[in-house]
Copies of this chain bind each other. A is one copy, B any other.
């Protein structure tokens, strides 16, 4: 699984997105991260494993605690991928496309593209 696959797959789960959102505020232990969820600790550990494998978190050591910290780099790559579609969702592409189509339609037959 490549980086982009792993990133998007990790983001596809609402529990994992909530964990990442929590980590915006700073490091947190597994217990702290688990607290808001009606879910067992091992299940949270599994989600953290997915996030770590995707490079979205890194883990330290503080006595028994393994604090998680956000690693946003893969999010930047996901953002880069999405950027290619920005023109389209902003509607500019469709308008430009329609404009170019109209211009082409006005051309005399056989005229070359510019």
Residues of A at the B interface (CB closer than 8 Å) are 2, 4-5, 8-9, 11-14, 17, 20-21, 24, 26, 70, 72-73, 75-76, 78-79, 81-86, 88-90, 93, 97
Contact = CB atoms under 8 A, between A and B. Distances in A.
- Copies of this chain, complex-wide, total 2
Given A17-B81, A20-B85, A79-B89, 9 more contacts: A5-B13, A8-B12, A9-B9, A12-B12, A21-B84, A70-B88, A72-B89, A79-B82, A79-B86
Nearest to A56: B85
Nearest to A6: B12
A72 B88 contact: yes
A58 to B, nearest CB: 13
Residue among A20, A21, A75 with max Cβ neighbours from chain B (10 Å): A75
